[in-house]
A = this chain, B = another copy of it.
Amino acid sequence: MPRAADKSVNIRDVARAAGVGVGTVSRVLNDGPHVSAAMRERVLSAIRQLGFRPNAQARRILRRHQGMVCFLLSNRDFLHSFHARILQGVETRASALKQHVTFSALHYSPRTASNQIQLPPILHERGWVDGVILAGTTYPNLLRRIQSIHIPLVAFGNNVVGLNGRFRVDEVCFDDAQSEFEATRYVIEQGHRRVAFVGDTSYDWIDRRYRGYSEAMKSCQLRPIAVCGSHKSAFREFGEWAAARIEACQRRPTAIVAANDEIAYGLWRSLRRQGLRVPDDVSLVGFDDREEALLMDPPLTTVAVHKEQIGQELMNLLLEKLRRPEARFNKQVLPTELVVRGTVKRLAAS
């Protein structure tokens, strides 16, 4: 697909028009030193006159880097809002740093041999991107595969799974356990004693949240009540299933810590159908601060995760890594924030 328009004006044309050498034009283009004001003006005027736009491609080949990074989303059916906002953060930061972002998706199995993983062409070929940002579920085999082509990478740490300290990775993350610990402590401080946790702990990150909850309960001499298990279904259905379990309790919990907002939503809906009101009959906290949280009525008290910030820091970290490839591994833990809205009722001290 050759485009006729592209045949147009190159640096040589500009040099000829300005009556100088191509080297001089190049120096003007790159704000290089050693160029007189008069010369610069002469060249600039020729550039304007010819409507010259330098060919980034040819520059990159000499500079040996691309000014472009790849945002790779793995094993997600679609770019749902949590990751879309991380991507948005990446783009914002990239744009400020005069970098470009390419978006690519990948589906792979954790059991595929590392060297059998078919990377998207943008990673497989050289000369596209300087580095890659991994989002979506990241297993060790993918990390190994990308390391095998010697392309710098950083990952959204909360979705890195099954590493077991076998090797390390540069990452930006937030602390699932600590955040859930604090959320649970808040609920307890509001006077609740029977506090249940609802979540599918077969997900690593939910398991971490469960442990944070568990710690908080124990630190207050309270017995954890786990409504866990592993379901194939969507989180919302999981919440609905769990609601039935909650109601069946001989002594019903007065509060529920849901592993994420989708589960909280399912719980809320199911409980309401059974005539249980939130927060009058049972209190509820979520995690992630997704759209659901504000759609609920009253709006959900939940742990806010700053998705755009995660994206920005991923971009920062990657650029840092590109600058100093031999630097030590870096793990950046971003704060979360419990946003108190309307779903936790203060219980009178009994």
Contact = CB atoms under 8 A, between A and B. Distances in A.
Interface of A: 1-6, 53-61, 64-66, 68, 71, 78-81, 84-85, 87-88, 91-92, 95, 98, 100-105, 120-122, 124-128, 130, 149-150, 152, 265, 269, 272-273, 291-292, 295, 297, 308, 322-323, 325
Given A84-B79, A88-B105, A102-B103, A322 B1 contact: yes
A121 B98 contact: yes
A49 to B, nearest CB: 15
A165 B53 CA distance: 31
21 contacts: A3-B65, A3-B150, A3-B152, A4-B325, A55-B61, A56-B126, A56-B127, A56-B128, A57-B127, A59-B127, A61-B61, A78-B85, A78-B308, A79-B85, A79-B87, A87-B103, A95-B105, A100-B128, A101-B104, A269-B297, A292-B295
Contacts of A103: 71, 87, 91, 101-103
A84 B91 CA distance: 14
A136 to B, nearest CB: 12
A65 B130 contact: no
Given A88-B79, A91-B104, A104-B91, A125 B64 contact: no
A66 B55 CA distance: 11
Contacts of A308: 78
A295 B262 CA distance: 10
Most B CB within 10 A of own CB, among A59, A80, A81, A102: A102
A229 to B, nearest CB: 23
How many copies of the chain does the oligomer comprise? 2
Contacts of A64: 2-3, 6
A95 B104 contact: yes
Given A57-B127, A84-B80, A103-B101, A295 B265 contact: yes
B6 A126 contact: yes
B2 A65 contact: yes
Contacts of A54: 125-127
B68 A57 contact: no
Nearest to A273: B297
Nearest to A81: B81
Contact of A81 (B59, B84, B122): B84
B53 A126 contact: yes
A267 to B, nearest CB: 13
B100 A130 contact: no
Nearest to A149: B53
A175 to B, nearest CB: 24
Contacts of A122: 100
A325 B3 contact: yes
Nearest to A99: B121
Contacts of A100: 102, 104, 121-122, 128
The 3 closest A-B pairs by CB, nearest first: A57-B127, A56-B127, A84-B84
Contacts of A55: 61, 125-127
A56 to B, nearest CB: 4
